[in-house]
Structure formats: C-alpha cells, structure tokens
Amino acid sequence: MDSISVFVGLDYHNTVVQVCVLDGNGKVLGNRPCANEVAEIVRFAEGFGAVRSAAIEACTGSANLAEELVRHGWSVDLAHPGYVSRMKQNPDKTDYGDARMLADLERVGYLPKVWLAPEAIRELRRLVRYRQSLVDARRAARQRIRAILREHRRHRVGRAWSRPWLCWAKTVDLPEQSRWIVDQQLEAVQSLNAQIGRTEKRLDQVTGDDPLVQKLLAEDGIGPVTAWTLRAEIGRFDRFRSGKQLARFCGVTPRNASSGARQADAGLIKAGNPQLRAVLIEAAHRLRRGQGKWRDLSDRLLKAGKSGSVTTAAVANRWVRWLYNQLQAA
C-alpha cells in the first residue's frame, strides 16, 4: 500500500477537517471528517498510501495545521479560497465536495497557491495588524470627540490634539451627557496612545536584528511603520517573479477596464491588503515631497496633466518595482 502515491485535500474547520484522499487517476479512496489533530489526519490519509502532496484552503488556523503537516514530512500547499470557489462547477457547497476539489486540483497541478509564510512572519504580521487596530480605535475615538464638538459649535484655533488643544477639550463647556462622553473618549485616546507606544516598542525589539527591515529603513522616505508593514505583509521579495507582480500584490497598479474598442483605466486594482496599500500611498506622498528621481517623476506627471492622486499612485507603483530590484534577494 505504501507504494501508492495519493493526493490529499483538506477542508479546514475549527474542530474537524474534512479529508479527501485521491489516487493518481483521481479515484476517491476516502473522504471523511477527522478531528482537527495532525495524528488522526495523518493516520487516515497514510492508510491509503504515501502522501505525495496535500492542499488546504488559506483561512484562520490553516497555516498552522499546514506547518505541522510539513514538519511531519508532507508537502502541503495553501490554496487561494476565492479562486478555488470560482473554479467549482457546482453551486452546491459541501465539505465533501470542497475537500475533493482541493485534492483534485492538487493532483492535476492547477491549485491556485498562496504563500505559506513562516511562523516568524505570521507572528510579526499579527503584531503589525494589532498595532493598526489600536490606531483605528484611536481614530474612531477622536472622531467621536470632534463630532460632538462640531455639533455644539465648539471650535478652537490651533492644531488639534496638541497639548493646548487637549487642555481646552477637557475644560470646554458642554451639556452634561456630551461632557461625559468626551471625557470618556479622551481617556480612551490616552490609553490607546500608551498601548500604541508599547506595541511600537515591541515591534522595534522584534525587528531590531532583521536585515530586511534595516535595509528598508535605510531608504529615503521610509519610516518604521512602513518598514514593519512591508516586512510583515510581503515577507520575502524574491517570492515574486517581477516587480510588476509585486506591485499588483500590493494593489498599486492600475486596473484595465477595456472592452472592444473602448480602452479605459478603472483606478487601482482591488487586490492586496488595504493596510499595505495605504502605507505605500503614504510613502509615495513623502517621496513626492523629497528630492531626487521620485520628485522628478511626480513633477513630470503633474506637468503632463495628471491629477495629484494619480501621480501619487504612479510614484508608489514605480517605487515598489524599483524596491523589488533592490531587495529581492533579502
């Protein structure tokens, strides 16, 4: 039995995993749910033969299971769930069918794969995204405060959130309930500032010896947040075949919307991590204000009649492609 090579599809759930085993001709040898434990999954699949390769859809928890199976000796690929769902020729969705689909795509070599990031990168990604969640929460609290102040027509000249502005916000006359809400949100902002500071200190410690982060920080216009985000979301630059592919992954390339004789662009492609794209657009704004070739590119595009937003996106696109050539071996 061990001489038979089999292909495995894993439909992941929190407590159970549907495991489908196919032979080289696509015949179903077994397809049943197993407990979400490596030992039981391995025992069931290897009962039919030697596992040649396995596929599992990318979702929460699946990368951890894939990594454990790799340590066991399996070859495991992560599948892009969106592409897999579009490749199905059946509107019905069952765990049985999903697992079989994954196994069959793996067998014929048509599985749309995504990168299985190492655990260290996944941990950094969690930390970076946690920091962003804190920043989003602080922004929401600040917006509540500003909304209440606008509603009661309270305005102070000067930079918002500076020390004088905060002192004014803590004492400005407001109705009783509005005053209470503003005080609560000011406390929340203060607490979130402390949490963000601790998280950034942690990120600085974690990436202090990371050569790729240090190379990114050496580039003009790149600060710690940009470097942390690029490292966490991209991981390795050499996993992309070209700078254009990396730029599309980052979501900073134009989307073509041509049909027949009509040729048109439809803004940036709707792909990639929104946080990564936002960080790159912010970096492009800084590059445009600096000196050198990125400032020159921005000036040429503006003189050609391009809008500021289009120019910024173009600078981000070109800069990412340039960065690929600089750091792909990192």
Q: Residue 210 in contact with residue 231, Cβ under 8 Å?
A: yes
Question: Domain check: are 142 and 82 in the same one?
Answer: no
- C-beta atoms surrounding 118 within 10 Å: 13
Contacts of 67 (CB under 8 A, 6+ apart): 116, 119
Question: Domain check: are 220 and 295 in the same one?
Answer: yes
* pLDDT tens-digit readout, 28-72: 999 999 999 999 999 999 999 999 999 999 988 899 999 999 999
Range of the structural domain that residue 254 is part of: 213-327
Nearest Cα residue to 127 out of 240, 286, 275, 282:
275
pLDDT band for position 128 (cuts 50, 70, 90)? very high
CATH number for the domain spanning 65: value is 3.30.420.40
pLDDT band for position 91 (cuts 50, 70, 90)? confident
Question: Domain check: are 67 and 103 in the same one?
Answer: yes
Q: Residue 243 in contact with residue 325, Cβ under 8 Å?
A: yes
Here the tokens at position 226 are 């940009």
Q: How far apart are CA 79 and CA 88, in angstroms?
A: 13
Last-in-domain residue among 114, 129, 164: 114
* pLDDT tens-digit readout, 194-242: 999 999 999 999 999 999 999 999 988 889 999 999 999 999 998 999 9
Question: Domain check: are 217 and 322 in the same one?
Answer: yes
The structure's pTM equals: 0.85
Question: Domain check: are 197 and 235 in the same one?
Answer: no
Q: How far apart are CA 45 and CA 37, in angstroms?
A: 13
- Distance from the first to the final alpha carbon of the chain: 43
Last-in-domain residue among 59, 82, 114: 114
Q: How far apart are CA 194 and CA 1, in angstroms?
A: 60
Give the neighbor-by-neighbor strand order of the sheet with 50-57. 28-35, 16-22, 5-12, 50-57, 76-79, 113-114
Place of tokens 């500021």: 308
pLDDT at 49: 92
Question: Domain check: are 94 and 169 in the same one?
Answer: no
Structurally, the chain folds into a number of domains equal to 3
Question: Domain check: are 48 and 125 in the same one?
Answer: no
How would you label 263-292 residue by residue, b for 16+ Cβ within 10 Å and e otherwise?
eeeeebbeebbebbbebbbbbbeebbeeee
pLDDT band for position 86 (cuts 50, 70, 90)? confident
Residue 330 confidence (pLDDT) above 70: no
Question: Domain check: are 10 and 88 in the same one?
Answer: yes
Last-in-domain residue among 114, 130, 160: 114
Question: Per DSSP, which regions of 72-132 are E strands?
Answer: 76-79, 113-114
* pLDDT tens-digit readout, 133-153: 999 999 999 999 999 999 999
Question: Domain check: are 32 and 101 in the same one?
Answer: yes
pLDDT at 301: 92
pLDDT at 1: 44
Q: How far apart are CA 1 and CA 271, in angstroms?
A: 44
Question: Domain check: are 105 and 132 in the same one?
Answer: no
Question: Domain check: are 294 and 258 in the same one?
Answer: yes
Residue 120, burial from CB neighbour count under 10 angstroms (0-12, 13-18, 19+): exposed
Q: Residue 156 in contact with residue 171, Cβ under 8 Å?
A: no
